[in-house]
Amino acid sequence: MPWIKKEDCIGCGICVEKCSVDAIEFDDEKAYINENECIRCGVCHDVCPQDAVRHDSERIPFEVEDNIQWVQNLLKNYNTESEKDAFIARMKKHFNKEMTVIKKTLEKIDLISEKWMQWQSKTDETSPCLSFPLSFKILIKAR
Ligand code: SF4
Ligand code: SF4
């Protein structure tokens, strides 16, 4: 999910104009992204002349810290060593499952991308770009 660094936004409106689903609005002359509308297409990253549209990866350290805080808070509910060990094992299982979901999703995205390239190289017909954003949106909204 992209986000806009307010300090860097000059309110030029380019991202608002280019967003295909009208997910970007203005608040006090600074753009912000409505995450319920955003389909994560990434176009706003490319068009912002100020590099004010930032990528989620910058939030990784904060999200890791949030996860650790969450685990530490829950850990307080367990008294014995064996209870704590069992809880930590469950947490590791949980995060390993999350990692597997992401890994397999990335593998499948690579396959989609390969098929897409093959399809494009085989046809001279009108580009399917017109239908792609809609199916992409459905895919994202279905999550
Ligand atoms: S990522 Fe795409 S849908 Fe989301 S705000 Fe940017 S341009 Fe709009
Ligand atoms: S394109 Fe960049 S600078 Fe212009 S309104 Fe959007 S975020 Fe702000």
Spell out the domain ranges in the chain. Answer: 3-54, 60-141
88-140 pLDDT, tens digit each: 999 999 999 999 999 999 999 999 988 888 888 887 555 544 444 444 444 44
Pocket test for ligand 1, best of 16, 43, 138 (most atoms within 8 A of CB): 43
The ligand 2 atom nearest the CA atom of 16: 6
Average pLDDT over residues 41-59: 94
Residue 10 reports pLDDT greater than 60: yes
User: Which SS3 state, helix, strand or coil, does residue 55 take?
Assistant: coil
Put simply, whether the predicted model's pTM sits higher than 0.75 gets the answer: no
**Is residue 84 within 8 Å of 78, Cβ to Cβ?**
yes
Task: Supply 95's token pair.
Answer: 């995060």
What is the C-alpha end-to-end distance of the chain, expressed in Å?
14
- At the topology level of CATH, where does 3-54 sit? Alpha-Beta Plaits (3.30.70)
Rounded Cα–Cα distance for residues 88 and 123 (Å): 53
CA of 9 to the centre of ligand 2 (A): 5
pLDDT the model gives residue 118: 84
Span of 21-25, 80-84, 107-111 with lowest mean pLDDT: 107-111
Helices (H), 1-143: 14-18, 43-47, 60-75, 81-122, 132-141
CA of 54 to the centre of ligand 2 (A): 11
